[in-house]
Amino acid sequence: MINNTPLHHIKELAEYIALQYEEKITPVNRIANHEELELFYDAYDKGTFDGMTVYTDNRFYIHLNTDNGNREDTERGRFTLAHELGHYFIDAHRIGLKKGILEPHPSIINRKQFNSIEREADYFASCLLMPESRFKQDVFKKKFSFQLIDNLCTQYKVSRTACAFRFAQIGNHPIMIVYAECGIVKWKLESDDFPYKWLLNDKNVPANTVMGEYFTQSNTRDIYKTEQVWAMDWFNYVKDRDTGRAFYEHCIPYKDKALSIIWED
């Protein structure tokens, strides 16, 4: 059994490591090399795994699956490596790997604990790639817009999704992120101070939204831009006086998938 690590400990650890380097784009490969970790960027078949940390013969090895897009210095590859570094640097994870308690491929029985451990490694990766002290300096320079997310992605060499997640955690403007596949919401995340917590249809993407139009119009509509939507179109439990409350939505579509960022002026 692996005990959970407090998030503030993970944050302090990841940011301490990141701030040892002056460059804004955290050099994850150099960090791995400094720890004498063996990195293998190889093709392990699409859909199997992104990254895997293995302990054998008294050494740690990190495997990154290029078939899933985890190539060196790509946004996805950088996040996956940062995630695997979390398994190495977080004491409970590292000890679990050494003792064989933390398996690279978990059984169904251990799925709940595995998911908790993976969330800790994701949080470590987020803090390592976008340390709060640096990130906030850039966040507070401009009024929020989708362009701000795009700019931050470039500055920190992370994906839009990872950047939006981090902004929702520590940014200076409340946002909600919604991800859907084939018109079905798979997950959402909102800032603590975002005014609404519940979506209109729970799992089905509401039709009168930018994302809804993408899924209902044969995925052909050009929606790579910000459009105005209304509270009553996206959210449940909207009070009568707020039915005309305006929000902005920027939808990023890809085939049968879409991610929307929603915010208010």
Looking at residues 112-124, what average pLDDT do you find? 85
Q: Please report, rounded to a whole number, the percentage of residues in the chain having pLDDT higher than 70.
A: 93
Token pair in block for residue 203: 């799992």
pLDDT at 47: 82
CA distance 70 to 60: 19
pLDDT at 112: 54
- Is a pLDDT exceeding 50 seen at residue 239? yes
Element (H, E) at 33: helix 28-34
pLDDT at 260: 96
Enter the pTM of the model: 0.90
Say which residue the tokens 């690590």 belong to: 5
Return the closest-CA partner of residue 196 out of 236, 243, 169.
Answer: 236
- Is a pLDDT exceeding 70 seen at residue 6? yes
pLDDT at 220: 55
Q: Are 139 and 153 in contact (CB under 8 A)?
A: no
How many angstroms from the chain centroid is the CA of residue 203?
20
Q: For residue range 22-48, what is the model confidence (pLDDT) as tens digits? A: 999 999 999 999 999 999 999 999 888
